[in-house]
Amino acid sequence: MKPRVRFAPSPTGHLHIGGARTALFNRLLALKTGGTYVLRIEDTDELRSTDESVQAIFDGLQWLGLNWQEGPLPAGGEKGDFGPYFQAERAKRGIYQPFIDKLLAEGKAYHCYCSTDELEEMRRRAQLEKRPPRYDGRCRHLTEEQKAAFKAQGRKPVLRFCMPDDGTTEFQDLIHGPLRFENKLLYDFIMVKASGYPTYNFACVIDDHLMQISHVVRGDDHISNTPLQYQLYKALGWEPPIFAHLSMILGPDGTRLSKRHGHTGVQEYRKMGLLPEALCNYLALLGWSTTDSQQIFAPGELEEKFTIDGCQKNPATFDPVKLNWMNGEYIRKFSQDQLLDRALPYLQEAGVGTGVDRETLKKIVGLEQEKYKLLAEIPKLVDFFFTPEVAFDPKAVEKVFHKPEAAQVLAAMGRKYAALENFTEGPLEQEARACAKELGFKAGQIFHPLRVAVSGRTEGPTLFRMLEYMGKDKVLERLSKAAPLCAA
């Protein structure tokens, strides 16, 4: 049978970087092997799961191009033969109940009536005795009378799995190799909460089996859950899937990537102006590499070259500087039309270039294509073309306009440009250099006042192409308005 893999997020927030990488690797494995990539929403946290988070997961995956072959549809409904694909709905339909009944009947699960205070006391005592905070199994062998007494107190039980007390749980991980756990160090995990909702460790085993998932590819924070799930597979008489646990992602400071490192939600990176293909490229390199350490991948190359063998178990470090560099590399490969299409949402949101024809806007946006790293930077870099008045940088005025020759330069260039009929890059530069020669100045003494006068900045696009695209009337108007700012 061809591999079946799944991405199974919990809808308690936005799609984060770690989840996006997990989705990417599952999809790449499915595409490489001709398998099926399934999306399942694990919404059994009834207090924190929200419809907004579900939509954020849909939006994030679709923006990244990580479209699933089977699972819920964003517009409603689902595709696939193994639904429903929301665990809460599966619980409502009683899908988990037969397996609960089976484990209870065989003595492999039991009701636990311990209170929150009693569980906390167990943890406190374990810490004092310097041993793992393992549930001590005190409810495993309750008599019917004891159960009745707890019920009379109004206690609602949870359902726990009866973990073996001795022996080991061993499995082969495709990334970490053979893993072995002492059963005496494991614990009787909760299968069903007092509310009647199944827990993660229980529901994912049932669903992975019923959905015929062959490979479970997920973050290595789940390694500690795997022996618990492995024992549940064994108790139900099922063959476990093949496990592959992806390496941890660290922040630049060497600690686990989290909100304190800045943006962690995929949509935040979208707002910053990251390209989805660049972000996927970068995420693929967090814990995976080709034999030749390739960095940039053309369309289709990741799907072609990805193998689980290339995944590393050592933690990967998330480097925002490298991500921005990679995004810039992708931007530079765009045609001017492609660049404008990608930049338009950011320009429109900033109100930049409104009412300007596409060809003009395309030329202006393309002026600094070699410098862009983020699409969200573009409006601020080109907005001076469209503002009615120049917003002068005080430092630029101090540095350039307070030099004694500035007023003379602007006046001379105003006269030359007013007489210029061919207002294009070549003639504009020729007139500026001729002016420098006539006045006995260096070229920079002409160029710098020109740039600041028309843009208000000391840095920007190629000067004379910038003047050409700005147009004769606007350039002359700005040279005239800038003159009073120059030192007498």
Based on the domain organization, do 236 and 111 belong to the same domain? yes
Whole-angstrom distance, CA of residue 52 vs CA of residue 388: 41
Containing structural domain, residue 77: 4-93+249-317
The phi and psi torsions of 477 (rounded to 5 degrees) equal -60, -40
Element housing 18 (H / E): helix 17-33
Mark 325-339 as b/e (b = at least 16 C-beta within 10 Å). Answer: ebbbebbeebeeeeb
Greatest alpha-carbon pair distance for the chain in Å reads: 108
The residue out of 191, 226, 246 marking a domain boundary is 246
Residue 480 belongs to domain with CATH number: 1.10.10.350
The answer to whether residues 470 and 419 belong to one domain is yes
Q: Name the CA radius of gyration of the chain, rounded.
A: 32
Q: Given the DSSP bridges, would you call strands 36-39 and 4-7 parallel, antiparallel or unpaired?
A: parallel
Q: String of b and e for 95-112 (b: at least 16 CB within 10 Å)? A: bbeebbeebeeeebbbbb
Whether pTM > 0.75 for this model: the answer is yes
Total length of the chain: 488
Instruction: Give the whole-angstrom CA distance, residue 249 versus residue 17.
Output: 9
CATH code of 365's domain: 1.10.8
- Residue 213 confidence (pLDDT): 98
Instruction: Please spell the DSSP secondary structure of 450-488, one letter per residue.
Output: HHHHHHSSS--S-HHHHHHHH-HHHHHHHHHHHGGGS--
**Per-10-residue mean pLDDT, the chain, length 488:** 95 94 98 97 91 96 97 96 96 97 97 92 87 87 94 95 95 97 94 94 98 97 96 98 96 85 84 97 97 95 95 94 97 97 97 94 96 97 96 96 94 97 97 97 96 97 97 97 86
Place of tokens 């304190």: 260
Identify the pLDDT of residue 488. 53
Question: What integer pLDDT is reported at residue 126 of this predicted model?
Answer: 83
End-to-end Cα distance, the chain:
84
Within-domain flag for 322? no
Question: Within a domain: residue 29?
Answer: yes
Assess whether 378 and 434 both reside in one domain: no
Using the 3D structure, point to which of 229, 246, 263 is the last residue of a domain. Answer: 246
3-state SS, 120-142, equals HHHHHHHHHCCCCCCCCCCCCCC
Per-residue confidence (pLDDT) for residue 265, from 0 to 100: 87
Tell me the C-alpha distance between 139 and 209, whole Å: 29
List all residues 6 or more positions away from 274 whose beta carbon is below 8 Å from its beta carbon.
323, 327, 374, 375
With beta carbons less than 8 A apart as the criterion, state whether 220 and 246 touch: yes
Block residue for tokens 């209870």: 104
Residue 402 domain flag:
yes
Q: Do residues 133 and 172 both lie within one domain?
A: yes
75 & 172 share domain: no
Catalytic-labelled residue, pool 151, 259, 399, 442: 259
Say if residue 75 is in the same domain as residue 118: no
Collect all residues with Cβ–Cβ distance below 8 Å to 469 and sequence separation of at least 6. 360, 363, 364, 367, 385
Distances from the Cα of 364 to the Cαs of 273, 320, 423, in angstroms?
Answer: 18, 28, 16
- Say how far residue 12 (Cα) sits from the centre of its chain: 15
Which of 192, 227, 246 terminates a domain? The answer is: 246
Residue 327 belongs to a domain? no
Mark whether 344 and 270 lie in a shared domain. no
Q: Are residues 158 and 217 in the same domain?
A: yes
Residue 333 designated active-site: no
Instruction: Give the model's pLDDT for residue 362.
Output: 97
Structure confidence at residue 16 (pLDDT):
94
Residue 224 burial (CB count, 10 A): 10
Question: Phi-psi category of 135—alpha, beta or left, where left has phi over 0 and alpha has psi -120 to 50?
Answer: beta
The long-range contacts involving 132-140, CB below 8 angstroms and separated by at least 24 positions, are 132/185, 132/187, 134/185, 134/186, 134/187, 135/160, 135/187, 135/188, 137/188, 138/114, 139/110, 139/111, 139/112, 139/113, 139/114, 140/110, 140/188
Residues facing residue 111 across a β-bridge: 159
Same domain, 177 and 125: yes
State how far the Cα of 112 lies from the Cα of 131, in Å rounded to an integer: 22
Asked if 101 and 241 sit in the same domain, the reply is yes
Residue 196 lies inside a defined structural domain of this protein: yes
225 and 117 housed in the same domain: yes
Residue 329 resides in a domain: no
**Token digits for 241?**
């899937």
Helices 358-366 and 336-350: angle between axes, nearest 10 degrees: 100
62 inside domain: yes
326 within domain boundaries: no
Report how far residue 265's alpha carbon sits from residue 286's, in angstroms, rounded to the nearest whole number: 16
Q: Structurally, how many domains does the chain consist of?
A: 4
Instruction: Say if residue 283 is exposed, middle or buried (CB neighbours under 10 Å; 0-12, 13-18, 19+).
Output: buried
For residues 101 and 190, membership in a common domain is answered with yes
pLDDT of residue 263: 67
Q: What is the CATH number of the domain that holds 25?
A: 3.40.50.620
